[in-house]
Amino acid sequence: MHPLRTLILAAGANDAVRRLVATAPVSRDVVRRFVAGESTDDVVAVTSRLVADGLSVSLDYLGEDTTDEVQAEQTVQAYLRLLDRLHADGLARHAEVSVKLSAVGQALDERLALDNASRIAAAAEQCGTTITLDMEDHTTTDSTLRVLAELRRTWPWVGAVVQAYLRRTLDDCVALAGTGSRVRLCKGAYAEPPSVAFSHPHEVDLSYVRCANALLAGRGYPMFATHDPRLVSVIAERALWYGRKPGSYEYQMLYGIRPDEQLRLVNSGEAVRVYVPYGEQWYGYLMRRLAERPANTAFFLRSLVGR
């Protein structure tokens, strides 16, 4: 692992650094570059701005790995409140939610996670929108796909996520690319062993293109989550080759990352969805984003010391 990445991830686990980041007024502004805020009001305000620019969004209430049933219930309630607000503010057509099963009880009991995700999916349906199940580390992939299959029996539009770095993913793409399916393809964000994942970035990119081909050749709605300029142009070329019109697939990027590119794509007629995290537990998310890219870190550290 890159030494700077190791350092930032270590800082992420350090309470003193956490307090400094949470309280320094300038750093709060930087946090706001990647995280929409802590409350439903905050994220609805950011959503309105992005939708006004022609973008769609997927909203993520931050919080992972709950082994506490009460905390899982609080996460469900946060999603239900959010969906109500999106509906009331006329935003639901352009704003869906992304849900991590670990945040709604997967580590405790798969059945509990399924029940909780079902409540969120039912509320999304009532509000006129959709949900996508985020994908987490490889030990949860089979469980997440089982829950997805169950949810899809009632709500066939529940979105799946597949990670190009996993060796299994091309097979998963072929299996998931049926009529009406919504599948987000990303590179993958967890530290995985070579027995299950490609470790060289070039191998991951090649896998991403193979998986993109499988999704574009299928009958579903592919969602290409990447900031990688090379992959964005390969997807544009492959979509043309498969006769896909803009709007029969979409690009996805994270809030605060390459915002100019998000607008360029949408202004050229492409469908673009921005993944927007919010909630009180923003710290771990922010540290992962900083660890991904040293340039972000330099910007962030300068802001902490007020320059």
Do 144 and 162 form a contact (C-beta atoms < 8 A)?
A: no
Tokens read off for 244 = 């896909």
Q: Does 258 bind ligand FAD (CB under 6 A)?
A: yes
Q: Does 227 bind ligand FAD (CB under 6 A)?
A: yes
Query: Exactly one of 257, 263, 301, 304 binds ligand FAD (CB under 6 A); which one?
Result: 257
Among 64, 89, 150, 228, binds ligand FAD (CB under 6 A): 228
Looking at 124, 253, 265, 272, which residue binds ligand FAD (CB under 6 A)? 253
Binding string, residues 103-142; x marks residues near ligand FAD by CB under 6 A:
-------------------------------xx-------
Q: Is 64 in the site for ligand FAD (CB under 6 A)?
A: no
Nearest distance, CB of residue 16 and ligand FAD, angstroms: 26
Q: What is the C-alpha to C-alpha distance for residues 12 and 4, in angstroms, rounded to an integer?
A: 12
3 state SS of 244: coil
Residue 155 vs 190, nearer CB to ligand FAD: 190
Q: Does 254 bind ligand FAD (CB under 6 A)?
A: yes
Torsion of CA 45, 46, 52, 54, to 10 degrees: -150
Q: Which of 176, 174, 89, 184 is nearest to 131 (CA)?
A: 184
- In the bound complex, what is the minimum distance in angstroms from residue 88's beta carbon to ligand FAD? 25
- 80 lies in the binding site for ligand FAD (CB under 6 A): no
Query: Does the footprint of ligand FAD cover residue 229 (CB under 6 A)?
Result: yes
* 225 binds ligand FAD, rule: CB under 6 A: yes
| Complex with ligand FAD: residue 19 or 230, whichever CB lies closer | 230
Q: Verify binding: residue 203, ligand FAD, rule CB under 6 A.
A: no
Total binding residues toward ligand FAD, as defined by CB under 6 A: 23
Q: 255, 276 in Cβ contact below 8 A?
A: yes
Sheet containing 182-186, strands listed edge to edge, beginning at the edge strand earlier in sequence = 131-133, 95-99, 56-61, 272-278, 250-254, 221-225, 182-186, 160-163
294: contact with ligand FAD by CB under 6 A? no
Question: Contact at 8 Å (CB) between 265 and 54?
Answer: no
What is the DSSP annotation of 129-143? --EEE----GGGHHH
Backbone angles phi, psi at 257, to 5 degrees: -110, 120
- Residue of 226, 262, 297, 303 that binds ligand FAD (CB under 6 A): 226
Residues binding ligand FAD (CB under 6 A): 134-135, 161, 163, 186-190, 225-229, 252-254, 257-258, 275, 292-293, 296
